[in-house]
Amino acid sequence: MKRSRINAIMAEADAMIRSYGFVLPPWAYWTPDEFKARAEQAQAVISARNGWDITDYGAGRYDEMGLFLFTLRNGRLADLQRGGGMCYAEKLLISKQDQLSPMHTHVIKAEDIINRGGATLVVALYGSDTDGNFDETAGGTVWCDGLRRDFAPGEKLKLAPGESVTLMPGDWHAFWGEGGDVLIGEVSTVNDDETDNIFREPIGRFAQVDEDEAPTHLLVSDYAKWLS
């Protein structure tokens, strides 16, 4: 993705988030130079990989297959493993109309996916085989706003603003906006986007960036290069 496109998506996303009464934390708006100058102070943000995340899954077709994310907070895997402490994470996402977030599951993370506002969020669901692999013949069970719902393989949940679904490890899912763009909340156990996204197809999690202009703000995938 061109950096100029990433910068434009950041500005558009920030405007949409604000339109629904959410405001990102102050460090979200630091320039790269400000982030470098305050890297020691922001070490917890950096190590947790909190911040801006815009992906086309390496396919170069963001409008068709892509996702905007901002990780607001993220816990510690060590705390999750010992069963106490900061075991949670929170994100905001934007799924644009007909923009696919492709079929995937998680090994560790359980998550609530919440339609925070906008159009309808469509979530396509499949179950796993006994080894946790994608199984096109398997259904399963999820919870929608705390209510049990059994699903058939490939069933599409349609979540209106205010509605949610709880997905457990092994629940294979893809999602997109229907009828317009959707602001999504994600509340989950500790999040590891580098190792805990298992895609059905062999695709990448992060975009390759073409530096055609300077970044407005750093992506989480920029931290290693820009803040080392």
Helix (H) or strand (E) holding 149: strand 147-151
Q: Whole-number mean pLDDT of the chain?
A: 96
132-146, 148-162, 198-212: least confidently modelled range: 198-212
Q: Residue 210: its pLDDT value, please? A: 94
Mean pLDDT, residues 59-87 taken together: 95
Measuring CA to CA, which residue among 68, 72, 69, 87 is closest to residue 27?
72
pLDDT digits (tens, 9 = 90+) for 176-215: 999 999 999 999 999 998 889 999 998 888 888 999 999 9
Cα(4)–Cα(2) distance, rounded to whole angstroms? 5
Sketch out the chain's domains with CATH numbers. Answer: 3-226 (2.60.120.10)
Structure tokens at 194: 């580098």
* Token pair for 185: 């909340």
pLDDT tens readout for residues 22-45: 999 999 999 999 999 999 999 999
What are 129-137's contacts with CB under 8 Å, separation 24+? 132/105, 132/107, 132/169, 132/170, 134/103, 134/105, 134/172, 134/200
Query: Can you tell me the mean pLDDT for 120-147?
Result: 97
Mean pLDDT of 109-130: 98
Q: Which residue has the tokens 């079929």?
A: 103
Report the distance separating Cα 164 and Cα 38, nearest Å: 37
Helices and strands (DSSP H and E) totals, the chain: 5, 12
Q: How confident is the model at residue 142 (pLDDT cuts 50, 70, 90)?
A: very high
The pLDDT confidence band at residue 104, using thresholds 50, 70 and 90, is: very high
